[in-house]
Structure 1
């Protein structure tokens, strides 16, 4: 079952219901965030980095701790380029299915992997995106109590089911707006196409006047509103 048609409907409902999450940036600004989940991946992420390097774009990566430990030198390359790093859990486990202690351990293990690889202090890596976008009010309360910031999305083209490069690009261009957070994947599911998709998307988005910022920049914008 493809969930893509539901995301544009869910976003305006979930955003005011869970205001402690970051769902997007300033609607009066052309700043948008391009984000990638599930990496780093030894084949897909290097190809993506070449595209980002070519256009000199700063993106955002929500990493799985297990993938960081499998590809530490690649993770260091991403970090050294100045991309913003967030957490996606140690494994791709849905947060509501984990006990509080399991969730805390998952996030702390991922922070430790990033620290060991990139020398980023845990307090520098506290943006969390739940796998599959699944969370409960308790999940958000726990994350807030542990001083993490919950980051969601506004444009989800469901690239992980590989509907085709053209389809993914069209879906993004159809729904992108000022302040959008675009979610793509450079991991095992969907990552095969991510470099090609990104290479097509970036020039078209730039042509429309959008510019790319970090998730941290969108947080700063949200504090000013």
Structure 2
């Protein structure tokens, strides 16, 4: 069963119910965030980077720690290009299925992997996207207690089931609006098509006047300031 038709219905219900999550940016600006989950992948991610380089687009990557450890040189390439880095857990296990200590260890192991590959300190990588978008209020409370920021999405074209490049592009164009966070995948599920999807999608979104920004920029938009300070730290250390 494909769940794509449910996402536009669920989004306006979930967003006000969990206001501490980042679901989208400011609806009054043309800023959007292009994000990629489940990587880095040794084959699909380099293909994607070539497309992003071609259009000089800054994107956002939510990494699995196990994948960072398998492809540290690709992780470093992404970071060196100035893309924003977030956490997706160590091995894509659903957060509600983990005991609190297991969840904390999963995130910290991923931060260690990122530090070893990219020299980013743990306090510089605090944005977390739960695998499969699954969380509970208890999960969110723990993440907040541990000083992480939960990042969700507003445009989910379900690329991981591979409905075809044209279908994914059409779904994004149908749902995109000011402030949208688009989630695609450069990992083992969906990554086969990610470079082609992005190659088709970026020029169409640029034609509509959208500007691609980091997740941190959207946080700052909706809160006025970056409450946790990661953006300023990343800016000084890396860019």
The residue number in structure 2 matching 1:69 is 69
Q: Which residue of 2 aligns with 1:194?
A: 194
For residue 158 of structure 2, what is the aligned residue in structure 1?
158
Q: Could you say which residue in structure 2 is the equivalent of 1:49?
A: 49
Deviation by residue 1:40-97 (Cα, 9 ceiling, x = unmatched): 0000000000000000000000000000000000100000000000000000100000
Deviations 1:152-210 (A, max 9, x none): 00000000000000000000000000000000000000000000000000000000000
2:36 aligned partner? 36
Partners of 1:99 and 1:111 lie apart in 2 by 19
Structure 2: distance between partners of 1:76 and 1:209 = 30
Determine helix, strand or coil for the equivalent of 2:135. coil
- How far off is 1:224 after superposition? 2.5
Tell me how far apart the structure 2 counterparts of residues 216 and 171 of structure 1 sit (CA, whole Å). 25
Structure 2 partner of 1:140: 140
TM-score normalised per structure 1 = 0.99
Q: Following superposition, which runs of at least 4 residues in structure 1 exceed 6 angstroms of deviation?
A: none
Deviation at 1:124, TM superposition (A): 0.5
1:8 counterpart residue number: 8
Partner residue in 2 for 1:25:
25
Distance 2:14 2:203 in 1: 30
RMSD, aligned α-carbons? 0.7
Partner residue of 2:113?
A: 113
Match of 1:123 in 2: 123
Alignment deviations for residues 121-153 of structure 1 (CA, whole Å, 9 cap, x no partner): 101100000000000000000000000000000
Where does residue 172 of structure 1 map in the other structure? 172
Q: Deviations over 1:86-121 (max 9, x none)?
A: 000000100000000000000000000000110001
CA distance in structure 1 between the partners assigned to 2:128 and 2:84 by the alignment: 12
2:238 is the alignment partner of 1:208: no
Mapped partners of 1:6, 1:209: distance in 2: 27
Unaligned runs of 5+ in 1: none
CA distance in 2, matches of 1:9, 1:187: 26
